[in-house]
Amino acid sequence: MKSTLVSAALLSVASAAPAEQSTQNATAFLAGGNPFAGASVYANTFYSKRVEAAIPKLASGLSADKAKAVAKIPSFFWMDKLERVPEIANFVADAKKMGGNVVIPLVVYDLPNRDCAALASNGEYSVKDGGAEKYKGYIKAVKDQIVAAGSQKFVLVWEPDSLANLVTNMNEQKCQEAASAYKELTAWGLKEMNLPNVAIYLDAGHAGWLGWDANLGPAANLFAQIYQSAGKPAAVRGLATNVANYNAFKFPGGACPSYAESNKVCDESRYVNKLGPMLKQKGFPANFIVDTGRSGVQPTKQQKWGNWCNVIGTGFGPRPTANTGDALVDAFVWVKPGGECDGTSDRSAPRFDAHCDSPDALKPAPQAGEWYQAYFEQLLQNANPPI
C-alpha cells in the first residue's frame, strides 16, 4: 500500500569536493565523480514512519527527541520484494518537492535463492521455480520507476551477500544452484540499470568475510568478471562494504580484536585499501561506500566474527557523510535501517537461522525485516557519537 506523502527530512552530506559539483547534471552524476559530493541524501518516509511509531513505546529513560533525530538521518530503502517497488514513486514526489541536488538511496535485493548460505533473509524467488524470469520482472519494475522519475538521482546498493557467497560458500547446495543465476542476472541487471540518473555499488561483504588473504584475490576476480560481462556499465561506481554489519571503519588504536583471529584486515579501511588496488588493476572502478549505521560500539560484543544476526551491545555509528578522509571511500552511509530485524530467534519459525539464536544475538527477535523495538532502543542508547 502506498504511503501518504509527508515532508521527509534531508541530511546534507558534508564534502570537501568543489562547490560546482553540487550542480552536476545527470550525465555528470553517472560518469563523473563521487555521487554523494555536494548532495543531500533523502531520508525515506517508510523508515521515518517506523521510527515515529516506535517513539511512544520507548523504554523509560530513552529520549523521544533523539529517536526523532534518527528518523531524519537517511538510510537506504530495501526493495526486498516486488510489492515494495511502487514505494519509489512516493519518494520521488517527496524528494522533488524539496528541490536542490537530492539523491534517493535504494537497495536492490531480490535475487532467486537470495542469501543462499543463510536462512533468515531468504527471498520470494527460487531458481527451481522460474526465479530468473521473475527476477527480471522485478528489475524491470524498478527500472520503470527510475525512468519515470526523469532526472531524479538514485544510488543503488546491489544485492547484499550475493556475490560474496560465491567466493566463500560454494559448499552450500543452494549456492551451487544459484551461482550461474547470480552471475548472469547481476550482469543483466547492471546493463538494464545503466541509466543516466543512477550510480550503483555492488555489495562486497565486509572485512571479516572477504578481507582474508585467501578471499581478496578471488573476490576481485569475480567483481571484475561481472563488470566485464555487463559491458562495463558507466553507472557502476564501485562497491559497498559492511552492509548490515558492525565493523569499525578504523579500529580504535589500530590493534585487531580477538574475534578477528589471524585476519589483520580487521576494519573496513584496511579492507577497502587492500581490495581497491586489486580492483583497479583489473579495470573495475575502485570506489566504495561503507555502512556505518551499526558500528558505534568497538570492539563489538561478538564472540565470533561470523555471528551476524542482531548482535548484542551495538549502537548507531558515524553519521552519513561524504567527508570520509579516504580517497577510495565516497561516503559513509546507513544502508541497514536501524531497528529492522536481521532474523528471528524462534527455532520453530519459518526461515529460522541458528545465528539468530547464538550467544551473540539479542533475543527474542521477530522475522527478518520486521520492526525490532528492543534492537532500535539498543542502537539508540549505545549510539557513538551520541545522537
Instruction: Report domain extents, the chain.
Output: 10-298+308-338+371-381
Q: Angle of helix 45-54 relative to helix 64-71, nearest 10 degrees? A: 170
The type of residue at 382 is N
| pLDDT at residue number 32 | 61
4: Cβ contacts below 8 Å, ≥ 6 apart: none
Q: Which helix (H) or strand (E) holds 302?
A: none
Catalytic: 161? yes
Of 94, 115, 267, 357, the active-site residue reads 115
Grid cell locating 228: 566485464
The class that CATH gives domain 10-298+308-338+371-381 is: alpha beta
**Annotated binding residues:** 78, 80, 206, 209, 245, 308, 336, 340
Surface-to-core class of residue 266, CB atoms within 10 Å of its CB (0-12 exposed, 13-18 middle, 19+ buried): buried
Name the stretches of the chain with pLDDT < 50: 1-27
Catalytic: 357? no
Distances (CA, A) of 117 to 173, 256, 337, 361, 383: 9, 27, 22, 18, 30
**pTM assigned to the model:** 0.92
Catalytic: 353? no
- The string of pLDDT tens digits covering residues 19-49 is 333 233 334 565 568 999 999 999 999 999 9
**Annotated binding residues for substrate:** 78, 80, 206, 209, 245, 308, 336, 340
Distances (CA, A) of 67 to 106, 148, 208, 311, 368: 22, 34, 30, 20, 22
Rounded distance between C-alpha atoms, residue 21 and residue 32, angstroms: 9
Of 161, 291, 330, 353, the active-site residue reads 161
CB crowding 40-53: b at 16 or more within 10 Å, else e: bbbbbbbbbebbee
- The string of pLDDT tens digits covering residues 308-339 is 999 999 999 999 999 999 999 999 999 999 99
Of 110, 267, 291, 342, the active-site residue reads 342
